[in-house]
Structure 1
Amino acid sequence: MTPELFKYLVTTAYVALVFYLSWIGMRRTRDVRGFSIGNKDMSPYVIGITLAASIASTATFVINPGFVYVHGLSAYLHYGVAGSLGILTAFLVLTRGFLRLGESHNALTIPQWIYCRYRHRGLSLFFAVINLLSITFVVLILVGCSLLVTGLFPVEQKTALVLVLLFVFSYVLMGGTYAHAYTNTLQGVMMMAITALLFVQGFKYLGDDPLAALRAIGADYAAPFNPSSDLYFSFFSVFLSGFVVTFALMLQPHILTKVLYLRSERDIGRFIGTTVVVGTLFTLMLMLGFYARLAGLDIGTQDTVVREYLIHEFAGDALGQYLLVLIFLTLLAAGMSTLDGILVSLSAMVVNDIVEPLFGNRINGLALSRWVLVGVGIIGVLLAWNPPPLIGLFAQKGVYGLAAASTVPILFGVLLRRALPLWVVGGAAGVALVTHLGLNLGGLVANPAVSATWAIAASLLVALAGLGWSRWFSAGHDVPDAATSPSA
């Protein structure tokens, strides 16, 4: 069998298997709740792999190794070490409280969780609207996947963009969360195998002394804080911002709502353990940035580093071409594993938190959630048609703004059981969003993680000051509850 025939056969088999899993998911999807979070009958191990695959995605597997290629060890520490610690801390702190409140009120989305906690429709609508910033990550994934398709098949990038969109949307439209979870489990297993293969295969470039190999490129490249980098040059920009913003990113709708798939709190330990182990393995994909640099590749476009490195390593012989097909398909799966999760969460959010509160039950929620997917897809393609340079930074501008705005309402809502003044929570969220966008889009801060961290700090100060003032002002007075406690 020729490598060309193998490529088409394996791709066809992968597509057929994904559609079969989606068909199974469709049979188990009976209403908008099942479409959004399933029927709470999935294994915590399946949910953990699903979540790890969603967190890793195209960013870890395709885009972020480009930052390591350009900026060196500092970028690896930012994404691989500080980011992993942020993920672990977020789930240890938030999972139990978020699940408890979500179960008590049958919350399907982050804005609905906000409404259950604070009992204010305006605040939940605000979060529903700003959650649309997730579309910047949809653009990143579409662009990353289209780059991979062009490395696998002789098609132009715009054609590849449309093909990726049609494939992902078709199987998600069928089965919603079940299609997302089942296909992510398949894709997550593929991602684990390929990550281990690529890590071992390229380690030869690091030799017996990895730090010496990196210093051979340059002292700044091997430094934990790269003084010649405009993004990762200090403890704050490498470690603190990486930890804080990744902690906040776990509040994204397509991530934190995975907690609501769990059957009960008894599943939390297995769920978190699976997520951490699998997610840590996935961070080894960042090493491809080092490997490409040490291999002497001169790659002008940062976003194409992974594609060019893989072609360089595997396209030279027949066996390598067979492996290249499997690797490219797995990297595509990595992108789709996050894209389908974002699509499900966005469609559920628009229906549950924007349309139904404004128009009531006069609509078919399940049908509308699928039409929303189509609308999101059209907008995503329009934005990705002529993508901006450094698509990773473009996506971070929007997603990090959403993460910053979500931090105080969800963190305080989980950890503080008493009533919280709505003006404090809403004001903190608004300050975070405006601060992040102002610093980053205004050109004052180049790294979106740094601007988001400053925004989160400002938001926390506003919230703590507001809570202190509110307690002082209401001392000696009976103040009615402004929010429902998580233990309700």
Structure 2
Amino acid sequence: MTPEIFKYTVTFAYAILVLWLSWVGMRRTQDIKGFAIGNKDMSPYVIGFTLAASIASTATFVINPGFVYVDGLSAFLHYGISASFGILAAFIVLTRGFLKLGEQHQALTIPEWIYHRYQSRELSLFFAFINLLSITFVVLILVGCSLLMTGLFPLDQKQSLLVILVFVFSYVLMGGTYAHAYTNTLQGVMMLFISVFLFVQGFKYVDGGFLQALSSVGENYAAMVNPDSRLYYNFFAVFISGFVITFALMLQPHILTKVLYLRGEHDIKKFIATTVVVGFCFSLMLAIGFYARFAGLEIESQDVVVREYLLFEFGSSAVGQYVLTFIFLTLLAAGMSTLDGILVSLSAMVINDIVTPIVGKLPSALMWSRVLLVAVGLVALALAWNPPALIGLFAQKGVYGLAAASAAPILFGVLYQGAIPKGLVFLAAFLGLTVHLILNLVGGVANPAVSATIAVFVSMTLIGVYLMSVRVRR
């Protein structure tokens, strides 16, 4: 079998398998609850794999290695080490309380969780609207996947965008959460294998020692804090912001709502352990940024570092082309594994938390949820058609803003059992979003993680000072 025939055969087989898993999911999806969070009959290991794949996505597998290529060790520590600790801390702190309240009120989405916790429909609507910022991450995934597809098939980027969108929608529209979970488990296994394989395969570039290889690029490239970088220039930017913003990112609807898939508290430890171990293995993909630099590749756009490195490593030999097909297909799967989760959560949220409270219960919420999936996809396609430079930073502006707004209301909502004034919660969320956007867009803070972390501290300080004053008065 020639490499070309192999490429199309494997791709067709993967597509058929994903669609079959989606059909299985469709048979188990009877209503909007099943579409949004399933029927609480999935293994915690499946849910953990699903979550790890959702967290990793195109950012970890395609876009973020470009930051490592440009800025070196500081970027790796930011996205790899600090972020991993942020993920672990978030789920240790939040999982039990969020699941308990979610089960008590049968919440399907984060805005609905906010409604039940704070008893405010206005606050719930506010969170539903700001959660639409997740669409910036949809754009990142679409662009990242389209860049990969141009390296695999004779398509331009716009044609690739259309193919990816149609394929993902074809299986998510059928099965919702079950399609998302089943396909993510398949895609997650592929991602796990490839991330470890590529990490080990690149060892040939560090024969003289990893630190020596880093130093050969430049002194600051090998430094834990890179003063030459406009993004990772001090301890706060590398470590504090990496930890805080990743902790806050776990509050995104397509991530934290995975907790609601669990059958009960007895599944929490298995769920967290699976998520953290698999997620750490995925983060090994960041090393491709180092390997591309060590190999001497001169790449103008950091968004295409992974694609160019893979073509350089595997594109020149017949055997390498077989390997390249499987790798590219896996990286595409990494993007789709997050894209489908965001689409499911966004469509369920719009119906459940925006449309229903405003116009009343719809006669067929499941059907309308699927209709809205298409609408979200079309908006994302329009934004991705002519993408901005450095798509990673574009996505971070929106998604980190959502994280900054959500952090204090959800964290205090889980950890503090007493009443918190609704107006204070709204003000904290509003400050989290606006402080981040002001600092990042006009305040000269280039790294969205830094501006969002400052915004999180401002937001949390507001509620924290209030609760301390209440305690003192008592």
CA distance in 2, matches of 1:150, 1:417: 52
CA distance in 2, matches of 1:4, 1:60: 28
Q: Map Cα deviations across residues 63-110 of structure 1 (whole Å, 9 max, x no partner).
A: 000000000000000000000000000000000000000000000000
CA distance in 1, matches of 2:167, 2:248: 30
CA distance in 1, matches of 2:464, 2:361: 39
TM-score (norm 1): 0.96
Task: Quote the offset at 1:379 in angstroms.
Answer: 0.3
Residue identity matched to 1:464: G
Residue identity matched to 1:268: I
CA distance in 2, matches of 1:202, 1:57: 21
Residue identity matched to 1:455: A
CA distance in 1, matches of 2:131, 2:219: 41
Task: Quote the offset at 1:469 in angstroms.
Answer: 4.4
Superposition pairs for residues 364-375 of structure 1, below 5 Å?
A: 364-375=364-375
Q: Map Cα deviations across residues 22-51 of structure 1 (whole Å, 9 max, x no partner).
A: 000000000000000000000000000000
CA distance in 2, matches of 1:342, 1:451: 24
Unaligned runs of 5+ in 2: none
CA distance in 2, matches of 1:96, 1:276: 16
CA distance in 2, matches of 1:205, 1:472: 60
CA distance in 1, matches of 2:207, 2:115: 54
Q: What is aligned with 1:41?
A: 41
Runs of 4+ in 1 over 2 A off after TM superposition: 465-473
Q: Secondary structure at the residue paired with 2:383?
A: helix
Superposition pairs for residues 104-253 of structure 1, below 5 Å?
A: 104-253=104-253
CA distance in 2, matches of 1:415, 1:152: 48
Task: Quote the offset at 1:443 in angstroms.
Answer: 4.2
CA distance in 2, matches of 1:299, 1:182: 36
CA distance in 1, matches of 2:16, 2:245: 38
Task: Quote the offset at 1:363 in angstroms.
Answer: 3.4
Q: Map Cα deviations across residues 430-482 of structure 1 (whole Å, 9 max, x no partner).
A: 11111000100114200000000000011111112233445567x5xxxxxxx
Tell me if structure 2 keeps the 8 A contact 1:421–1:467.
no
Q: What is aligned with 1:338?
A: 338
2:299 aligned with 1:314: no
CA distance in 2, matches of 1:333, 1:467: 45
Q: Secondary structure at the residue paired with 1:10?
A: helix
Q: What is aligned with 2:12?
A: 12
CA distance in 2, matches of 1:88, 1:465: 27
Q: Secondary structure at the residue paired with 1:146?
A: helix
CA distance in 2, matches of 1:369, 1:139: 20
Q: Map Cα deviations across residues 396-441 of structure 1 (whole Å, 9 max, x no partner).
A: 0000000010011100010001111112211111111110001001
CA distance in 2, matches of 1:396, 1:462: 24
Q: What is aligned with 2:94?
A: 94
CA distance in 2, matches of 1:203, 1:370: 46
Q: What is aligned with 2:262?
A: 262
CA distance in 2, matches of 1:465, 1:44: 37
Q: What is aligned with 2:58?
A: 58
Q: What is aligned with 1:84?
A: 84
TM-score (norm 2): 0.99
Q: What is aligned with 1:455?
A: 455
Q: What is aligned with 2:29?
A: 29
Q: Map Cα deviations across residues 362-416 of structure 1 (whole Å, 9 max, x no partner).
A: 4311001001100000000000000000000000000000001001110001000
CA distance in 2, matches of 1:141, 1:236: 27
2:353 aligned with 1:358: no
CA distance in 2, matches of 1:217, 1:227: 15
CA distance in 1, matches of 2:158, 2:278: 32
CA distance in 1, matches of 2:274, 2:207: 31
CA distance in 2, matches of 1:427, 1:324: 50
2:470 aligned with 1:467: no
CA distance in 1, matches of 2:222, 2:344: 40
Superposition pairs for residues 437-456 of structure 1, below 5 Å?
A: 437-456=437-456
CA distance in 1, matches of 2:47, 2:339: 16
Tell me if structure 2 keeps the 8 A contact 1:136–1:395.
yes
Q: What is aligned with 1:349?
A: 349
Q: What is aligned with 1:481?
A: none
Tell me if structure 2 keeps the 8 A contact 1:424–1:467.
no
Residue identity matched to 1:351: I
Tell me if structure 2 keeps the 8 A contact 1:232–1:238.
yes
CA distance in 1, matches of 2:70, 2:225: 13
Q: What is aligned with 1:288?
A: 288
Q: What is aligned with 1:427?
A: 427
Q: Kindly tell me: are residues 283 and 362 of structure 1, through their superposed partners in 2, closer, same or farther at Cα, counting changes over 3 Å?
A: closer
Tell me if structure 2 keeps the 8 A contact 1:48–1:272.
yes
CA distance in 2, matches of 1:181, 1:468: 42
Q: Secondary structure at the residue paired with 2:440?
A: helix
Residue identity matched to 1:207: D
Q: What is aligned with 1:485?
A: none
Moved more, 414-423 or 322-331: 414-423
Residue identity matched to 2:394: F
Task: Quote the offset at 1:206 in angstroms.
Answer: 1.4
